[in-house]
A and B are shown apart, each in its own frame.
Chain A
Amino acid sequence: MNIKTLKGKILLGFAVMILILTGVVGWSIYNFESLSNAINDILVENYRSIKASDSMVESIERQDSALLLLLRSTEEQGQEIFRRNEKEFYSWLARAEDNITIKGEGAILEKINEKYFGFVSNFDQFYNAEEDQRWEIYNQQLLPRFNEIKNDIRELREINRQAMVEAQRSANSRANQAIIYTIGLALLVIVFSLIFAFYLTKQILRPIKELEKGIKKVADRNFQQQVEVASEDEIGVLADEFNEMIAKLQEYEKLNVKKLLMEKEKSEAVVNNLSSPLIVTDQDHKIVLINETAKKLFSINKDVIDTHFLEVIQAEEIFEYIKNPEAKEKKTFKLKKDDKERHYRISTRRVIDEDEEYQFTVTLLEDITRLKEIDSMKSEFVSTVSHEFRTPLTSMNMGLNMVINEDTGELNEEQRELLEAAYEDVERLTELVSDLLDLSKIESGRIEMEFDKVDINDIIEKTLNPFYKQAEEKGIALKFKQSEDNVFAYADPSKISWVISNLVGNALRYADEGKIEVDAEIKGRRVLVSVADNGPGIPREYQSKIFDKFVRAGNDKDEKSGTGLGLAISKEIITAHNGRIWVDSEEGEGSTFSFYIPRFGYQEGENE
Chain B
Amino acid sequence: MSKILVVDDEKNIRLVVGKSLEKAGFDVDYAVDGVQAVEKANDINPDLILLDLRLPKMNGFLVLEALKSDTSTEDIPVIILSALSEEDDVQKAISLGAEDFLVKPTSQCDLLSAVEANVRVEETNGEEEKKEENNNEE
Residues in chain A within 8 A of chain B (CB atoms): 387-388, 390-399, 401-402, 405, 407-408, 426, 430, 437, 446
Could you tell me if A398 and B84 are in contact, using CB atoms closer than 8 angstroms? no
A393-B23 contact given A398-B17, A437-B85, CB 8 Å threshold: no
Contact (Cβ within 8 A) A402 B83: no
Contact of B16 among A390, A398, A430, A446 (CB under 8 A): A398
The 5 lowest CB-CB distance pairs between A and B, nearest first, are A390-B83, A393-B105, A395-B12, A394-B105, A390-B104
Determine how close the nearest CB of chain A comes to the CB of B83; give it in whole angstroms: 4
Partner pick for B108 among A393, A398, A426, A430, CB 8 A cutoff = A398
Tell me if B111 is interfacial: C-beta within 8 Å of chain A. Answer: yes
Interface pair B84/A387, CB less than 8 Å apart: yes
Residues A395 and B20 in contact in the complex (CB < 8 Å), given A387-B83, A390-B105, A402-B108: no
Q: How far is the CB of A400 from chain B (nearest CB, A)?
A: 9
Contact A398 B83 (CB under 8 A): no
Q: Which residues does chain B contribute within 8 Å of A390, judged by CB atoms?
A: 83, 103-105
Q: Which residues of chain A are near B117, meaning CB under 8 Å? A: none
Q: Smallest CB-CB separation from B83: which chain A residue?
A: A390
- Closest-by-CB residue of A relative to B81 is A394
Chain B: residues with Cβ within 8 Å of the partner, total of 21
Tell me the bound Cα distance from A395 to B52 in angstroms: 14
B125 at the interface (CB under 8 A from A): no
Residues of A within 8 A of B85 (CB): 437
Contact of A388 among B13, B16, B23, B83 (CB under 8 A): B83
Q: Nearest A residue to B85 by beta-carbon distance? A: A437
Q: Decide yes or no whether B106 CB sits under 8 A from chain A.
A: yes
15 contacts between A and B (CB under 8 A): A390-B83, A393-B105, A394-B13, A394-B16, A397-B106, A397-B108, A398-B105, A398-B106, A398-B108, A399-B15, A399-B19, A401-B107, A402-B19, A407-B23, A408-B19
CB-CB under 8 A for A394 and B106, given A387-B83, A388-B83, A437-B85: yes
Q: Which residues of B contact A (CB under 8 A)?
A: 10, 12-13, 15-17, 19-20, 23, 81, 83-86, 103-108, 111
Q: Which of B12, B23, B104, B111 has the most CB of A within 10 A?
A: B104
Known: A398-B16, A402-B19. 17 other contacts (CB 8 A): A387-B84, A390-B103, A391-B13, A391-B104, A391-B105, A392-B10, A393-B104, A393-B105, A394-B16, A394-B83, A394-B106, A397-B105, A398-B17, A398-B108, A399-B12, A402-B23, A402-B108
Contact A391/B10 with A402-B16, A437-B85 known, Cβ cut-off 8 Å: yes
B116 to chain A minimum Cβ distance, whole angstroms, is 16
**Is A430 touching B105 in the complex (CB atoms < 8 A)?**
yes
Smallest Cβ distance from A264 to chain B, in angstroms?
53
Contacts of B111 in A (CB 8 A): 398
**Chain B residues, CB < 8 A from A399:** 12, 15-16, 19
Residues of A with C-beta under 8 A to B19 = 399, 402, 407-408
Q: A398-B107, A407-B23, A430-B105 are in contact. Are A392 and B12 (CB under 8 A)?
A: yes
Are B104 and A394 within 8 A (Cβ)?
yes
A426 to B108 alpha-carbon distance, docked (Å):
14
A397 touches B20 (CB 8 A): no
- Which B residues touch A387, using CB under 8 A? 83-84
| B16–A395 CB distance below 8 A | yes
CB distance from A89 to the nearest CB of B (A): 175
Contacts of A396 in B (CB 8 A): 105
Measured between C-beta atoms, what is the minimum distance from A427 to chain B in Å?
A: 9
Q: Which residues of B contact A395 (CB under 8 A)?
A: 10, 12-13, 15-17
Q: Contact at A391–B108, with CB atoms within 8 Å?
A: no
The residue in chain A whose Cβ has the minimal distance to the Cβ of B106 is A394
Residues of B within 8 A of A407 (CB): 19, 23
User: CA of A399 to CA of B12 in the docked complex: distance in angstroms?
Assistant: 9
Give Cα distance in the complex from A395 to B83, angstroms: 12
Q: Given the complex of chains A and B, what is the CA–CA distance between A308 and B106 in angstroms? A: 60
Residue of A nearest to B14 (CB): A395
Minimal Cβ-Cβ distance residue in A for B11:
A395
User: Which A residues are in CB contact (< 8 Å) with B103?
Assistant: 390
Q: How far is A394 from B107 in the complex, measured between Cα atoms in Å?
A: 8
- Tell which of A387, A395, A397 has the most Cβ of chain B within 10 Å: A395
CB distance from B74 to the nearest CB of A (A): 28
8 Å CB contact of A402 from B12, B20, B105? B20
Docked CA distance A242–B75 (Å) = 107
- The CA of A226 and the CA of B38, in the complex, are separated in Å by 100
Complex: how many Å from CA A408 to CA B81? 24
Question: With A and B bound together, what is the CA distance between A13 and B108 in angstroms?
Answer: 129
Taking CB atoms, residues of chain B closer than 8 Å to A408 are: 19
Would you give the shortest CB distance from A444 to chain B, in whole angstroms?
12
Nearest Cβ on chain B to A409's Cβ, whole angstroms: 12
Q: What's the nearest-Cβ distance from chain A to residue B103, in Å? A: 8
Q: How far is the CB of B67 from chain A (nearest CB, A)?
A: 22
In the complex, what's the smallest C-beta–C-beta distance from A534 to chain B, in angstroms? 35
Closest to B23 in A: A407
Which residues in A have their C-beta under 8 angstroms from that of B81?
Answer: 394
**A408 to B22 Cα, complex, angstroms:** 12
**Cα separation A65 to B130 with both chains bound (whole Å):** 222
Distance, CA A446 to CA B85, complexed state (A): 12
A437 to chain B: which residues have CB within 8 Å?
85
Q: Report B50 CB to chain A, min CB distance, Å.
A: 11
Chain B residue contacts of A392, Cβ below 8 A: 10, 12
B105: which A residues are within 8 A, CB to CB?
390-391, 393-394, 396-398, 426, 430
Interfacial chain A residues near B84, Cβ < 8 Å: 387
Residues of B within 8 A of A397 (CB): 105-108
Do residues B12 and A401 form an inter-chain contact, with CB atoms below 8 A? no
A401 touches B104 (CB 8 A): no
A71 to B83, CA, bound (A): 199
Output the nearest chain B residue to A429 by Cβ-Cβ distance.
B105
**Would you call A401 and B108 a contact (CB within 8 A)?**
yes
- When C-beta atoms are compared, the residue in chain B nearest to A448 turns out to be B87
Measured CB to CB, the closest approach of chain A to B17, in angstroms, equals: 7
The distance in angstroms between the C-alpha atoms of A282 and B30, with both chains bound, is: 72
- In the complex, the chain B residue whose C-beta lies closest to that of A447 is B87
Q: How far is the CA of A407 from the CA of B16 in the complex (A)?
A: 12
State in angstroms the CA–CA spacing of A390 and B102 once bound together. Answer: 12
CB distance from A27 to the nearest CB of B (A): 129
A366 to chain B, nearest CB (A): 30
**Chain A residues with CB below 8 A from B106, complex form:** 394, 397-398
